[in-house]
Amino acid sequence: MPHPSWPAPDEVRRLADQLSPLIRFGTSSWTYPGWTGLIYEREYPASGATARMLKEYAQWPLFRTVGIDSFFYRPASQRTLQDYADALPDGFRCVSKVWERITAHTFANPRERAHFGQRNPDWLNSELFLNEVVGPMVDVFSDHIGPLVLEFQTIAKKEKVAGADFASHLDRFFAQLPTTVPYAVEIRNEEFLCPEYFAVLRTHGVGHVFNAWTRMPRIGEQFQLHDAITAPFIVSRALLRTGRTYSAAVDAFAPYDHVQDENPELRADLTALAKAALELRVPAYLIVNNRAEGCAPLTIAAVAQKLAAG
């Protein structure tokens, strides 16, 4: 039975028709049974239906991109990339996470038991990135490549990596990459939001990911820093309310079928990014996670309403 807070399909289409093609809303992953009746017309099995769900996801009028989070845990196989390419309409570009082996400064994932707590020798390894991430995507997924997001988990203070040092590492890394692919950087260390960081991104045409995350300044606060739009596109990932942990949001919001914690500041920040994109005439990839308010599609619909009203 549809939730009473869900917008009518005609309203969703009306909002989508009012949006500029530059505004590309999408969600952080898409395999959520709680969206049945809102996004999906049928129920899907718990496994083996990812590409079929993606095909139906891309038909919802307000979705013009999607965040592919699973590529963070392992490089995408050519089979997976081909399945996703076959499921998506022409020109539907994705915001794909980069394999964590490239971005993890220290092994912190329980899956890396043998190396847990040790420095990662492949941190910002450009050759590995080109061979395992960029190459297969260019070969199989070229029509759907949006910004490749290098998500850097929090680097502990004991590692003594200052903001300027981090920026220097990024500078060397991006200098070795082709400029034909769009890249973006998401950080979880507030102290890295320094002039050197933004200058390096701007030099290489790499985007800063405006992220709403538990220990980062609000998206709107990041937007005010050091000419923070550093690329010919804008990327945002609305993940969590400041101070709320991921596990707490999962416990509070599952199964993600309605908004449970409306966040007016977050909605205003996303609206401001969209308006900036329109003024600059660049695409804005605005990714929303279910853990931001409880139901990412409804958060997107609310921001689209704000844009339409403005």
Domain map (residue ranges) of the chain: 9-309
Structure confidence at residue 259 (pLDDT): 96
Which tens digit of pLDDT belongs to each residue from 96-141?
Answer: 999 999 999 998 765 666 677 788 999 999 999 999 999 999 999 9
Instruction: Report the sign of the C-alpha dihedral through residues 273, 65, 96, 29, in that order.
Output: positive
CB 245 within 8 A of CB 265: no
pLDDT confidence bin for 221, thresholds 50/70/90 = very high
Q: Which residue has the higher pLDDT, 107 or 35?
A: 35
Q: Report the pLDDT averaged over residues 146-173.
A: 96
Q: What gap in Å lies between CA 46 and CA 48, rounded to an integer? A: 7
Structure confidence at residue 2 (pLDDT): 66
- Percent of the chain past pLDDT 70, that is, above it, reads 97
CATH of domain 9-309: 3.20.20.410
Q: What gap in Å lies between CA 65 and CA 71, rounded to an integer? A: 16
Residue 1 reports pLDDT greater than 90: no
Which tens digit of pLDDT belongs to each residue from 240-271?
Answer: 999 999 999 999 999 999 999 999 999 999 99
| Residue 25 per-residue DSSP state | E
Structure confidence at residue 113 (pLDDT): 65
Alpha-carbon torsion, ordered 112, 131, 182, 85, to 10 deg:
-90
Q: Report the pLDDT averaged over residues 49-70.
A: 98
CB 257 within 8 A of CB 39: no
* Helix, strand, coil percentages for the chain (3-state, nearest 5): 45, 15, 40
Q: What gap in Å lies between CA 283 and CA 196, rounded to an integer? A: 25
Structure confidence at residue 107 (pLDDT): 81
Q: What's the whole-number average pLDDT of the chain?
A: 95
CB 144 within 8 A of CB 84: yes
